[in-house]
Amino acid sequence: MTLVVAAVGITNTMFVSVMERTREIGILKAIGYRPKQIMSLFLSEAALTGVVGAILGTLMGIALSFLLGGGMASSFSFRPPGMGGRPGSSATTSGTSYSPVFSTQLFAFSLLFPIALAVLAGLYPAWRASRMNAVTALKYE
């Protein structure tokens, strides 16, 4: 579900970018840019969005896995009041220790999948930008 929301967000951002840059697209078409070049321009922006999201998401995932798994106090002593709470008593409990496990496949997937998702989400807005009429785009605003 989160991936769908991310894809819709990227698509929406790309549509807004196309609408705000309609005049720029018209100028690019007027000076000779082909539709393929305009499409690649917008797809590279979508890919850059995916790269930034992938890097930030991977770093946050690593930090959270250490914080929640290995970085928190993995064993602690707890002596409830009134239950032999003096030092050295046997009324202590210890927590469980978890250590995060990472693999190169996991890193590759967490970096490449968001980029692919961003490019796929940016395909339709990029296609729409590449198909704009130059005269209509120059008149826009």
Whether the Cβ atoms of residue 6 and residue 115 lie closer than 8 Å to each other = no
pLDDT, position 94: 53
DSSP class per residue in 14-61: HHHHHHHTHHHHHHHHHTT--HHHHHHHHHHHHHHHHHHHHHHHHHHH
Report, as an integer, the average pLDDT of 59-63: 92
Taking the C-alpha atoms of residue 107 and residue 1, their distance in angstroms, rounded to an integer, is 21
Percent of the chain at pLDDT exceeding 70: 79
Tell me: the pLDDT tens digits for 91-123? 444 556 677 888 999 999 999 999 999 999 999
Query: What mean pLDDT value characterizes the chain?
Result: 84
The whole-model pTM stands at: 0.74
| Reported confidence tier of residue 76, pLDDT bands at 50, 70, 90 | very low
